[in-house]
Structure 1
Amino acid sequence: MHFELSIINGKTVSDIIRAHRADCLDVVRDAYLAHARGQSVNPDSHFLRFPEKPDCRIIALPAYLGNGFQVAGLKWIASYPGNVQRGFPRASAVLVLNNYETGYPFAILESSIISAARTAASAALAAYWLNGRSRRAHSLGIVGTGFIARYVYDFLIDTGWEIEEVRLHDLSSLESEKFRTIVCRPEHHRTVTVVPDVAQLLRASDLIVFTTVASTPHVTGPTLFEHNPVVLHISLRDLAPEILLRSQNVVDDVEHVMKANTSPHLVEQQTGNRSFVTGTLADIILERRSVDRSRPIVFSPFGMGILDVAVGKWVYDQAVAAGQDQRLSDFFYETVR
């Protein structure tokens, strides 16, 4: 038996995902469906925190995915918000993939890009299914114009969304302007504007993306959503419980999202139940549950390790097939017993 270990760097990961966003979205869909059928193991994430750095954390997300994937793995992702002021990204990550039969690791991949891509693919998948299987929006509003927002925007555009107007808001107007000039593709839209007032953005947008670093709800007015938009609540802690209680709520996994004071978790603590949850995204895809435009539709995904493992395995297969991995044949030393 061979015990080779493949190293796949960030550029290779990025090139593969950028060239095949629709395929990446299909991988995420298949992972959700496998999870819904009980063909996965997705334990709780484990948080390493530091008393002297309360805003920093490193998170371990272990997972196993069957249903054709047959792979286990672990994402180890650090979040250091202060990095942004230093001029480099907040998050850094690696993904280790393990052989299901032997347990031996067979690949290590740069994973901040995989993490962003699986998050964005999940958002684009949800937008399609919650928008009546349509890829059209009059106005896209993005609250928080950082790294994840860029990936969500790119996945929407590159999977065929037609969006007339784009509105951008960030606590840093410089970040919003940078997003408008560097990330947005004006040829795809009638207008792209930076909006200093988040309430104005919310009222004017029928597809809303939250990708902030908020730790507590900062949007509290249910009337801001009276026009019943689709809300991709990626950052999980932006919306007050009152908003979710007046909305149709779709999650990735009910158990996982009800922790760490996410907005859904706050609703559960306030009401003592989970009846406000309409269902999971897999329930919508499998037509076990349905949503309509009579009330706002809010998608709150906690983020699951199975998505990292699924996208990582897909990237690994593409890289190996193209000879783009760096392979170590002698990484493991004592392999005979």
Structure 2
Amino acid sequence: MKEVSIKIINQNEVAAIFKNRTDYVLKIVEDAFIKWANNEVLLPDKISQIFDQQTQNRINCMPATLLKDKVSGMKWVSVFPANALKGVPNVSGVMLLSEIETGFPQAVIDGTLCTRMRTAAVGAVAAKYLAPRNPQTIGFLGAGEEARMHFILLKHLFPTIKTCRVASRKTISENSFINELSAAVTDVEFIACRGDYSKAATNTDIIVTAISGQVPLLKAKDVRSGTLYIHVGGWEDEYAVAQKADKIVCDDWESSKHRTQTISRMYVEGLLKDSDIYANLAEIISGKKSGRENNQEFIYFNSVGLSFIDLNFANEIYKQACSMGLGHDIILTGADPINLKDFI
């Protein structure tokens, strides 16, 4: 009988793998989209169990397979927006990785940090193709962990960013955002908007909404021509924002259209058609469609979160952990067969 073991890889080990390797993080995301464009991915529907329709507290099961890499897996991730009021993280999860030659499991990996990196890296890769040239200003509606990760990756990608405005429901959140990031990035002026979301968005080259609630905070009047808007979560902007866009780009429209995001709600209500979506990001990365074509376009990027990207991260984390001697191996099934007499 074959012995079966799995490698447990915790959050600190995931962090060690990606320390000072921002380009590697972005490469994993871009590589995943190329695999998707080349039909090398199986992407079943996400299963979402919503426990509270108002808060959208939920647990998602997100499976995928990378055919050429010969791995399959899933992310089991909880998204509890109501946690923000309790002062605890609103996203947590684990990833399971299996190989598909014998079907045996390989690893269980922390999915909380990976989710944060993946979400922000998707936004950053989108910005690579969709942002105005040499952006100077960035505005955040929301000041939590996801907003911070977006800033880190976008600043890495665009060293020209010199001003960062941030607005949150809580002054303490804005202060924490600024105190943490200003200590690490000294060439950016950070401006606390004291809950004024309009101030954070107006005259801004890149706008990121990363909030834990379901409220249309971003207003169309605050969005100028030439802006890239990165929509991260659920219902964060009024419908007029999408209606104002020259291009709407999604990580994947089919995965988004029946969710609870702004453009998903518009689709369900008949205010948005399939033909209103300019492209999926994979089409732009693969060169099938153009990204930004001039500095006057207002581009709306919608990210719903795709499990094959998480799986690409999981596979890379597993390979790196093996080569770096990280993780803890646990035997699930021993080589000796179970004696069925023990159950009689």
TM-score, normalized by the shorter chain, greater than 0.5: yes
For the aligned residue pairs, the C-alpha RMSD in angstroms reads: 2.3
CA 1:27–1:89 in structure 2 vs 1: closer, same or farther (change >3 Å)? same
Residues 214-265 of structure 1: per-residue CA shift (max 9 Å, x gap): 324233x423213330111112421222221221111011100102221121
Question: 1:138 maps to which residue?
Answer: 136
Q: Give 1:280 deviation, angstroms.
A: 1.1
Question: 2:67 maps to which residue?
Answer: 66
Q: Give 1:185 deviation, angstroms.
A: 4.4
Q: Distance in 2 between matches of 1:187 and 1:216?
A: 30
Structure showing greater Rg = 2
Q: Does structure 1 retain, via aligned residues, the 8 Å contact 2:82–2:212? A: no
Q: Give 1:336 deviation, angstroms.
A: 6.5
Residues 50-85 of structure 1: per-residue CA shift (max 9 Å, x gap): 369964211110111234x32111111112334444
Residues 269-327 of structure 1: per-residue CA shift (max 9 Å, x gap): 33362222110111112222223333311110110000111011111111110101111
Secondary structure of the corresponding residue to residue 237 of structure 2:
coil
Q: Distance in 2 between matches of 1:155 and 1:34?
A: 22
Q: Does structure 1 retain, via aligned residues, the 8 Å contact 2:248–2:300? A: yes
Q: Does structure 2 retain, via aligned residues, the 8 Å contact 1:56–1:81? A: yes
Secondary structure of the corresponding residue to residue 275 of structure 1:
helix
Q: Distance in 2 between matches of 1:73 and 1:285?
A: 24
Question: 2:300 maps to which residue?
Answer: 298
Q: Describe how 1:50-199 pairs up with structure 2 within 5 A.
A: 50=51, 55-67=56-68, 69-131=69-131, 136-159=134-157, 161-185=159-183, 187-196=185-194, 197-199=196-198
Q: Bigger shift: 119-128 or 279-288?
A: 279-288
Q: Describe how 1:230-245 pairs up with structure 2 within 5 A.
A: 230-245=228-243
Q: Does structure 1 retain, via aligned residues, the 8 Å contact 2:3–2:333? A: no
Q: Does structure 2 retain, via aligned residues, the 8 Å contact 1:77–1:91? A: yes
Question: 1:21 maps to which residue?
Answer: 22
Question: 2:256 maps to which residue?
Answer: 257
Between Structure 1 and Structure 2, how many residues are aligned? 332
Question: 2:309 maps to which residue?
Answer: 307
Q: Distance in 2 between matches of 1:183 and 1:87?
A: 20
Q: Distance in 2 between matches of 1:46 and 1:139?
A: 37
Q: Does structure 1 retain, via aligned residues, the 8 Å contact 2:55–2:82? A: no
* Runs of at least 5 residues in structure 2 that lack an aligned partner in the other structure: 339-344
CA 1:224–1:98 in structure 2 vs 1: closer, same or farther (change >3 Å)? same
CA 1:264–1:82 in structure 2 vs 1: closer, same or farther (change >3 Å)? closer
Q: Bigger shift: 49-58 or 293-302?
A: 49-58
CA 1:192–1:51 in structure 2 vs 1: closer, same or farther (change >3 Å)? closer
* Runs of at least 5 residues in structure 1 that lack an aligned partner in the other structure: none
Q: Describe how 1:205-284 pairs up with structure 2 within 5 A.
A: 205-219=204-218, 221-247=219-245, 248-269=247-268, 270-271=270-271, 273-284=273-284
CA 1:49–1:272 in structure 2 vs 1: closer, same or farther (change >3 Å)? closer
Secondary structure of the corresponding residue to residue 30 of structure 2:
helix
Q: Which stretches of structure 1, 4 residues or more, deviate above 6 A after TM superposition?
A: 334-337
TM-score normalized by the length of structure 2: 0.89
Q: Bigger shift: 221-230 or 195-204?
A: 221-230
Identity of aligned residues (%): 23
TM-score normalized by the length of structure 1: 0.91
CA 1:186–1:326 in structure 2 vs 1: closer, same or farther (change >3 Å)? closer
Question: 1:331 maps to which residue?
Answer: 332
CA 1:82–1:203 in structure 2 vs 1: closer, same or farther (change >3 Å)? closer
Residues 147-200 of structure 1: per-residue CA shift (max 9 Å, x gap): 111211222234453311111111111101110001334644341111132112
Q: Give 1:2 deviation, angstroms.
A: 5.2
Q: Does structure 1 retain, via aligned residues, the 8 Å contact 2:182–2:188? A: no
